[in-house]
Amino acid sequence: MDFKELLAYKKSFELAMEIFELSKTFPKEEKYSLTDQVRRSSRSVSANIAESYRKRRYVNHFISKLTDSDAENSETNVWLNFSLKCEYINQETFESLNSKNLEIGKLINYMINNPDKFGCRN
């Protein structure tokens, strides 16, 4: 199986692209702060999932990259909260993105807790 078939990868990639499109509407003064940060962290979730899958031969490497992905996912959540509080997104948009973010976190944690289901050898 290719990492692009992993549900966590698919959903995180979708969310990163949704955030990218949405962040195009953020004020120009946020370009190098909030906009850049939320784009970077959301993209890192998918990138770290891909890296973890390629390192699945070694369970500790697999889990390490997934914990990096989980951390980036949490960081993305913080930037979404800032986006809401700064009134760059409305409550409905925040709730939709937040729900997807939380689901991705659950998927990543499932992978962390069940490495054998993803081809890791002990």
Question: Nearest CA to 15 among 71, 97, 107?
Answer: 97
Q: Are 57 and 44 in contact (CB under 8 A)?
A: no
Rounded CA separation 13/8 (Å): 8
- What pLDDT was estimated at residue 121? 75
Q: Full-prediction pTM beyond 0.85? A: yes
User: At 1, is the pLDDT very low, low, confident or very high (cuts 50, 70, 90)?
Assistant: confident
Domain ranges for the chain: 3-115
Per the CB < 8 A criterion, the answer to whether 38 and 72 are in contact is no
Q: Is the pLDDT of residue 120 over 90?
A: no
Q: Which CATH code of 1.20.1440.60, 3.40.109.10, 1.10.287.180, 3.40.640.10 fits the domain covering 3-115?
A: 1.20.1440.60
Residue 19's nearest CA partner among 83, 74, 107 is: 83
pLDDT of amino acid 122? 65
Interatomic CA distance for residues 70 and 62, integer angstroms: 12
Q: What local confidence, expressed as pLDDT, does residue 95 receive?
A: 98
**Smallest Cα–Cα separation from 26: which of 17, 12, 36?**
36
